[in-house]
Amino acid sequence: MKQPVRVAITGGAGQISYSLIFRIAAGDMLGPDQPVILQLLEIPPALDALNGVMMEVTDCAFPLVHGLFGTDKPEEAFADADICLLVGAKPRGQGMERSDLLKANADIFSVQGKAINDKAAPDARVLVVGNPANTNALIALSNAPDMAPTQFSAMMRLDHNRSLGQLALKADSHVTDIDNLFVWGNHSSTQFPDIQHALVGGTPALECVDRDWYEQSFIPIVQKRGAAIIDARGASSAASAASAAIDQMRDWIQGSQSILSMAVPADGSYGIEPGIMFSFPVQCRDGEYEIVQGFELDDFARSKINETEKELRSEREAVAHLLS
Ligand code: NAX
**Do 148 and 265 sit in the same domain of this protein?**
no
Q: What is the pLDDT of residue 103?
A: 87
pLDDT band at 314 (very low <50, low <70, confident <90, very high): very high
Of 154, 181, 197, the residue that ends a domain is 154
Has residue 94 got a pLDDT over 90? Answer: no
83-86/192-194 β-pairing = unpaired
Residue 44 DSSP symbol? G
The pLDDT, as a whole number, for residue 92 is 77
Which ligand 1 atom lies nearest to the CA of residue 129?
A: 41
Q: How confident is the model at residue 109 (pLDDT cuts 50, 70, 90)?
A: very high
In a domain, 103, yes or no: yes
Residues 166 and 312 in one domain: yes
171 lines ligand 1 (CB under 6 A): no
Query: 10 C-alpha to center of ligand 1: Å?
Result: 8
**CATH no. for residue 31?**
3.40.50.720
DSSP codes, 126-189: EEE-SSSHHHHHHHHHHT-TTS-GGGEEE--HHHHHHHHHHHHHHTT--GGGEES-EEEB-SST
Q: Nearest C-alpha to atom 43 of ligand 1 is from which residue?
A: 241
Residue 178 lies in a domain: yes
Q: 321 falls in which pLDDT band (50, 70, 90)?
A: confident
Residue 141 belongs to a domain: yes
pLDDT, residue 91, reads 81
The backbone torsions φ and ψ at residue 121, rounded to the nearest 5 degrees and listed phi first, read: -60, 140
Q: List the one residue out of 90, 89, 86 whose CA is nearest residue 39.
A: 86
Q: With a cut of 80, say whether residue 265 has pLDDT above it.
A: yes
Co-location of 167 and 252 in the same domain: yes
The number of beta carbons lying within 10 Å of the beta carbon of residue 146 is 9
On whether both 139 and 171 belong to a single domain, the answer is: no
Question: Among 66, 187, 197, 321, which one carries the catalytic annotation?
Answer: 187
Instruction: Give the contacts of 43 (CB within 8 A, at least 6 positions apart).
Output: 72, 88
131-163 tens-digit pLDDT: 999 999 999 999 999 999 999 999 999 999 999
pLDDT at position 95 is 76
Whether 57 and 12 map to the same domain: the answer is yes
**Do 118 and 217 have their domain in common?**
no
**Cα(9) to centroid(ligand 1), Å:** 11
Contact 199, 147 (CB under 8 A): no
How many structural domains comprise the chain? 2
Whether 290 contacts 255, CB under 8 Å: no
- pLDDT value at residue 97: 77
Cα-based distances in Å from 221 to 163, 166, 185, 211: 9, 8, 16, 15
Question: Residues 106, 133: one domain?
Answer: yes
Confidence of residue 84 (pLDDT cuts 50, 70, 90): very high
Higher-confidence residue: 197 or 99?
197
Q: What is the pLDDT of residue 258?
A: 94
Residue 271 has pLDDT above 80, yes or no: yes
Q: How close is the Cα of 131 to the center of ligand 1, in Å?
A: 7
**One domain, residues 189 and 120:** no
- Report whether pLDDT(39) > 90: yes
CB contact at 8 A, 117 and 145: yes
Q: CATH number of the domain that 220 lies in?
A: 3.90.110.10
The pLDDT value given to residue 237: 94
Residues 105 and 192 in one domain: no
pLDDT in the model for residue 161: 98
In angstroms, the CA 195 to CA 205 distance is: 7
Q: Is residue 323 part of a domain?
A: no
* Ligand 1 atom with least separation from CA of 158: 40
One domain for residues 48 and 91: yes
**Amino acid 140: pLDDT:** 97
What pLDDT score does 317 carry?
92
| Full residue range of the structural domain in which residue 246 is found | 157-318
Tens digits of residue pLDDT in 192-207: 999 999 999 999 999 9
Q: Is the CB of 85 under 6 A from ligand 1?
A: no
Residue % of the chain over a pLDDT of 70: 100
Which of 127, 154, 181 is the last residue before a domain boundary?
A: 154
Domain match, 103 and 186 both: no
Burial class (CB in 10 A: 0-12, 13-18, 19+), 1: exposed
Q: Which pLDDT score is estimated for 304?
A: 98
Both 165 and 149 in one domain: the answer is: no
267 falls in which pLDDT band (50, 70, 90)?
very high
Mean model confidence pLDDT for the chain: 96
> What does the pLDDT look like over 167-194, one tens digit per residue?
999 999 999 999 999 999 999 999 999 9
321 is catalytic: no
Residue where one domain finishes, among candidates 154, 185, 204: 154
